[in-house]
Structure 1
Amino acid sequence: MASRTLHPHERRYSQLDKEAASIMFGIKKFHNYLTGRQFCIITDHKPLLGIFDPKKPMPNMISPRLTRIAIALTSHNYEIKYKPGPEIGNADHLSRWPQPVQSEPQTHIGEVLLMAEAPEDFPFDAEDIARETNRDKILSKVIYYIQRGWPAKETDADLRPFWLHRTELSLQENCILLGCRVVVPHTLRRATLQILHKTHTGIVQTKALARSYVWWPGLNDDIELLVGGCVRCLENRHMPPKTTHEWITPSRPWSRIHIDFAGPYHNKYFLIIVDAYSRWPEVFMVNNTTTATVIRLLRTTFATHGLCEVLVSDNGTSFVSGDMKHFLQANKIRQVTTAPYHPATNGLAERMVQTVKDKLKKMNDLSWDIKIPNLWLGLRVTPCTGTNKTPAELLMNRQLRTLLDTIHPDNLKHKRTEIQIDNNKQIAGRETTVGQNVMFRNYSNQGPKWLPGKVLQKSGPSNYKIETEDGVAVNRHIDQLIKYKPRLEKGEEGITDITSEANKDSISTDSSGTNYQHGQQENSSQESERIIEIPDAEKWAEILGIPPSSESTLPVPGKIRTKLNVHSRTPYQRPQDHIDNLYLS
């Protein structure tokens, strides 16, 4: 514990300052025990809570003494609480039994002249300039020319600047003057620059000050070099002028996308994706901002619109993590990150974030399941001011239908429907007739793949009702029906009879001329055990349509040849009697 009496000057403090001084005394007294530890300050003066609370900003209108104490307290980790005086009896007891302290003399503040703080701040005068001017080789020549006259032409690079101002130079007390400005020797120029830049003014103001007092060749360049390399000026310099570089508009949709997070808004975060070409927005409500969530939503978006070429984002942890870089590299996507604390680089996404927040604030009476879809549709069907087209039109090359489309008397849909009906009527597809025996497709797990049935009714352009052998009516498409013929009895023979019987029961073919008879004959031959007798050799010429005068060799009875033998098996011999007829006379 510790206590002391107030100094004479402290007794003139206000009550607020006295209470603050007591806190500062205790902290200084027990500094070795409080440094680096968290402690609690208990006071019976409640106004101090609003001034010294570490969780609140420092008030602007307080006394300088309280400001100094508040700044000193920021180096400690503390919290301050209020308790009435009767509840902190130990401190109240010590305040009534203080330890005497020696009085300190009050320090008087002297007068301060706001010029040079010490003699070394301005170490030379006119005599020093005159002395250094006589020692300088170049300025000695300048003095000589001023007294004796300048030559008509000067080729020396060191004397050339003085020759150009020869009519303005003069000599006074061994000091060279350019008008009313002193020409500073080379040895004193650096000290002069330090004096000109003592208040750390900018380049323009330093030049203006120098033009009123001093001159030497290359003065402007030396000032620019000095101010440009001043560490204090650079550390406290303002932001440079903003540039107006714009992103190049892509040549096709979904080539470059911009992403960013919006929120928290009502404890919700939103991942926003914007296409740079069409301004098409994608807004996803998420519960966290992890990399896994971003990758999952990007996969969903890429599955709809395809992979992009460039992805622009800020330097958020979820956007620059190792998993995110691996995902983008695996999909051949180039990532462009913005500069830290420069959101204007990703301005397209930042602007969409602002738009989404503004619209969500105006839809507070709706649930999230209604807000987000309405927000999507509204942003996607509204024309952009830069393109005068909607994002849907630029991305999908079509307009999205909204409720506003229903008020337009557009008959285009009905006209298209009528045209499609006429086109369907002109196309002749496969069909069958009522009462026809067919085989229909069986989709039950029991029985064969095809079952016999009978056509009861044509229920549509390509749909038929089929009666099964059990008397049950089923609905089938024409593609689910095949031709069915009753099995021929034994004794019926001849290819012409089979062909004629097949033509009677065949299902008509389509307009392209595709004939299903051959396929149906194969199916029928597989289902039936019909016996076909081979005709005699004498009947083949009549069956195949070969004229009687043909000298072709007939096939051996009982065998069928697909190619006629029109060549003789004997080697060819040239006729000797008609050898003269082979040449022209």
Structure 2
Amino acid sequence: MGKIVSDLAHNISGDLNVENMCTLAWKDNDYLALHWAVLGGFEGELAQHTYLCLFTKMREELMINGDLVLRNCWIVIPPTAVKGVLRHLHSLHQGTEKTKRLARQTVFWPGLTNDIATTIQTCTKCQYYWPSAIAEPLVQDTVSTIEKVTSDLFMFGSHHYLVYADRYSGYPLLSRFSSSPSSSDLIKEFRFYFSLMGTPNILRSDNGPQYRSSLFLDLLRDWGVQRPCRGHSENY
């Protein structure tokens, strides 16, 4: 699992030090509180912690990976490490929207969007190359950017997982369940995936009962997604 965090960090910058981030995590009281809250299910007094309140609505998406917290497949950056990650994200001076897209591939922290915008707006070099008179267009992903996806259910340790990946880029999303997920559980996650990454044309999966249920097939039909009858995620 540690390799997942290293690979995500490498997507931002090849010299982003994950070990240093872990050290900062264990020295940051807010992040430690989040770490224990994820393990404890956000129960008791921890749920009233000011920093933790920023995560309560997304608590089902959080999991522990070594010393760090993940939100789905994004590293939750410790507050004391945010400035360093911002520095790496900003190092190429690519403008606000490109920097946001780079960040959203791998990392998360409350206020990420505003922090990136503020950093770039106050950077002399960015203002020189990206003058305010030339507004950088907002680029939105369209349905056609993700044509084919694959999905599978598997078990690791005592938990069940749902993986959903873009076939072109290989970029995965991961959901964790305490017990074997039902068709309704899959529908909830797939609606989130479609909203986040766009609606694919084709979904490949095995023929597990959740994927064959009438409820799940109705979801695919409503969203205009085809599922080949003989599709199998492991062989696709």
TM range (shorter): 0.3 to 0.5
TM-score (norm 1): 0.20
TM-score (norm 2): 0.47
Q: Which has the larger radius of gyration?
A: 1
Structure with higher helix content: 2
